[in-house]
Amino acid sequence: MTTVSDPAVHRAVGDFGGASGARTGTAERASARPGHTAADPERGDVYVEPGLTPLSAREANRSALTALLASAGVGCFAVRGTSDHGTVVAVAEEDRERVLGVLFRGLSQYPGHLSVTDPDKPRQAGPVSSRDPKAWREVATARVLQVSWSRTDPGRHLLLGHEYGCAIEFWQRQGAHLVAPRANRVTWAVAADGVNVMGAARLFSRFVSDWTERRLAPPLATRPEFLVNCADDIAFPVDAVYTWVDGNDPAWKQRKAQAKGEVYHAESASDARFISRDELRYSVRSLHLFAPWIRNVYIVTDDQVPDWLREDLPGLRIASHREIFRDPADLPTFNSHSIESQLHHIEGLAEHFLYFNDDMFMGRPVAPHAFFTPSGTARYFPSRNRIPQGPVAATDTPVDAACKNNRALLKKRFGRVITQPMEHIPYALRRSAMEEAERDFPEAWARTSASRFRAMTDLSPTSSFALYYAALTGRGQPGSMPFTYLQLAVPDLADRLQRLLDGRDQDTFCLNDAFSTPEDIEAQQELLDGFLNAYFPTPSPHEISPDPSGPHER
């Protein structure tokens, strides 16, 4: 009799060491910490995995299950299921007895969770611990089973459960075909005598692209019928761009002090605008955790490099202001509008890219479809606020002044009046639209580039102008998503951060800090350190790690 002590199964099922490959307490029970999204002991066995990400949990569950099937001599192939979080494999109905037998043995040795799906019922039962006898009552006739082993990070902050499991579909032989028990993204049937081929990982989840780390999303054995590009697939690359300042850098402070005579508004040069709270580290972690489809990350700086950053791996690059500014006389600059006006000059930047302030974060797994349509149209996210009426006034904030300038230029060019600013959601941009906008409005663009601090004449190139320009030239459309904007100066900051951490139900969030006083910053930092470490416990591959077995190359 085949047992789950076979080496291949032990490696896949028993080694829950994650990226490091080390055993870290298989079947260790993870205890919940109050106020954190962590493991619930009542849900059964939870395995600790260093380097945990949604994709690593998804792949570990898939590889464990397929190793079990292989140990019993059961053939299977990957199906393009409708869930982006989990995976699906198909087995022949005639192999049911062997499948259920090896599942029972495997889950007896390495307890996990089971659920039965009835494709004909609108509501399905939730997962049950494999230790519970009732978990096995309906499996004998189930057309679809889902199997998972729940995982948490060493700090017990992140729990990834049944959603990231692997479903087994029992396909019935009907003549020359195997027929699926439920709909998938491509076909109801495949050739019964077909041969497996390897399919790119991106075919099986919208959270995966051709640039995702291979160890997290390897090619899968599937059938030729699934090797098609569907109309709703996004195959083009998407990059991410950050602008970042280390406000504690003495050399940068000196350059800023020399240029400070041009400041017109207290908010324009407030200390909070330039304080580095290490948000960038955690924002990059959020991409690693929740947007692994990003191709390249560019961090635009004034020749500054975060002290935690590894620069020797592909996928992330520092871009100096000196590289991207067309007119060197505009440097140094301390104006985000000025820097943003030059982002499309980054060498190698994709046509489609997301622009992040370093206080913006992905809050949960988000597909590129949230920001771009499959045809490449960029989505923008209008605010419920309204741009104040009238021309620019001395009492306007820098943000309102820039919005009014945007409005005047776009009205003159297109005969349309913009009325809404944008939400603090990562800005989905088209490089070509920014290039055209710079050509169409050379004087206003050059004036913004030359403003060393925010000025009354600025445009807001990325957070409004380029988004509306893309829309008015047929390359942008409004979108929506769950998000949170949190101003750090609020008196109930601790409660709001806790709700955000407990819920983990926002696609993106922004922790904005335009109005904090020096007295606020120290107290806020303690709260932020705890929050960010709990929300994003897994380092990205681009962090310098004391653990040599930590980050891996793509």
Q: How confident is the model at residue 12, as a pLDDT? A: 53
Q: How confident is the model at residue 250, as a pLDDT? A: 87
Q: How confident is the model at residue 195, as a pLDDT? A: 98
Q: How confident is the model at residue 434, as a pLDDT? A: 98
Distance CA 295, CA 213 (A): 10
Distance CA 352, CA 350 (A): 5
CATH number of 238-535: 3.90.550
3-class secondary structure for 215-274?
A: CCCCCEEECHHHCCCCCCCCCCCEEEEEECCCCCCHHHHHHHHHHHHHCCCHHHHCHHHH
Where are the alpha helices (H) located in 354-473, listed in sequence order?
398-414, 431-440, 442-449, 466-472
What is the four-CA torsion angle of 377, 378, 383, 387, rounded to 10 degrees?
-90
Q: Consecutive 10-residue runs of the chain (554 residues): their mean pLDDT? A: 48 43 33 33 76 98 98 98 98 98 96 92 85 89 96 96 98 98 98 98 98 96 98 98 92 88 49 68 98 99 96 96 98 97 99 97 98 99 97 95 98 98 98 98 98 96 98 98 95 97 98 77 88 97 70 44
Write the CB contacts of 20 (distance below 8 Å, at least 6 apart in sequence): 50, 51, 547, 549, 550
Q: How confident is the model at residue 234, as a pLDDT? A: 98
What ranges do the domains of the chain cover?
7-173, 238-535
And the tokens for 393?
């006034």
- pTM of structure: 0.90
Distance CA 485, CA 24 (A): 37
Q: How confident is the model at residue 529, as a pLDDT? A: 94
